Amino acid sequence: MKYLGIEPNKPRVAVFDFTSCEGCELQFANKEETLVDFLGSIEVVEFREISSDRSEDYDIAFIEGSVTRSDEIERLLKIRERAKVLVALGACACFGGVNRLKNAFDLNDANQEVYGDCPKETLPTRAIHEVVKVDLKIPGCPVCKDEVERIVQHLVWDIPFQFPAYPVCLECKQRYTVCVCDLDSKEAHSEKRGELCLGPITQGGCNAPCPAGGLGCWGCRGPAEDANVESFLTIAKERGFGKREIAERFEFFGGFEGLK
């Protein structure tokens, strides 16, 4: 039996970066306590951040980052041709991520602002699935190392992976975090209360680190299954959050584009 077209033993894995901060790749390479076991279940044939090895022969290609230059399109098409399974790794690859924010501006102005008199080629930001077929998307900014490891094991052992159907709110409650958008708890828990939080409509799986740190969720994992965006917007407006503030939150990682 095959899953996503690969045999269940030591797949040849390559990791590639496009326009990104390389933070998702770093998640692959860190967490020493599980790294040896993790790397023992796959054969890494190309991964610039940890090795100088190069290969054009791989089963699974993990793609970090979004597409913002013409040479990236060419490179991505070649990777797609070679890979049996192509995985979008992180918010940039899945949605365009923070790079997508530039699409709201005139690209020449954005170029001038960043590079001054030395402009660089820059195209409107695109997620990987907007350029080639993607077999699997692993969201997050950055991705969660635990989740990536579980997904890779599912690929190795040929078992379909199910992302959580529940939103971030559930994990937030599970770890006993006091809700950061609960206006009623304002006095008891300092000035941090009353935050806008996309937790009710964002896909779980990150274990809600942002609310635990006193911040609202910014939706880096994209919408939860059956997210009730309409109710969320109604409640957010009732609580005094403005249209612009909500729109900025929805646009930040690109996963909620078109839902506001």
Query: Which residues contact ligand SF4 by CB under 6 A?
Result: 20-21, 23-24, 64-65, 90-92, 97-98, 141-142, 168-169, 172-173, 177, 179-181, 197, 199-200, 202, 206, 208-211, 217-221
What angle do helix axes 243-251 and 229-238 make, rounded to 10 degrees?
140
Site of tokens 């609202």: 216
As measured in angstroms, the least distance from the Cβ of 71 to ligand SF4 is: 18
Nearer to ligand SF4, 6 or 93 (CB): 93
Query: How far is it, in rounded angstroms, from Cα 132 to Cα 178?
Result: 42
The residue (of 128 and 179) whose beta carbon lies closer to ligand SF4 is 179
Q: Minimum distance from CB of 82 to ligand SF4 (Å)?
A: 22
Q: Which is nearer to ligand SF4, 29 or 98 (CB)?
A: 98
Q: Cα angle at 91 between 88 and 94, to 5 degrees?
A: 40
Question: E strand or H helix at 210, and its extent?
Answer: helix 209-212
Between 6 and 18, CB nearer to ligand SF4: 18
Query: Is 11 or 199 the residue whose CB approaches ligand SF4 more closely?
Result: 199
Nearest residue to ligand SF4 by CB is 199
Distances (CA, A) of 4 to 8, 161, 238: 10, 11, 45
Task: Give the sheet arrangement for strand 85-89, strand by strand.
Answer: 43-47, 12-17, 60-64, 85-89, 136-138
Q: How far is the CB of 118 from ligand SF4 (least distance, A)?
A: 23
- In whole angstroms, how close is the CB of 92 to ligand SF4 at the nearest point? 3
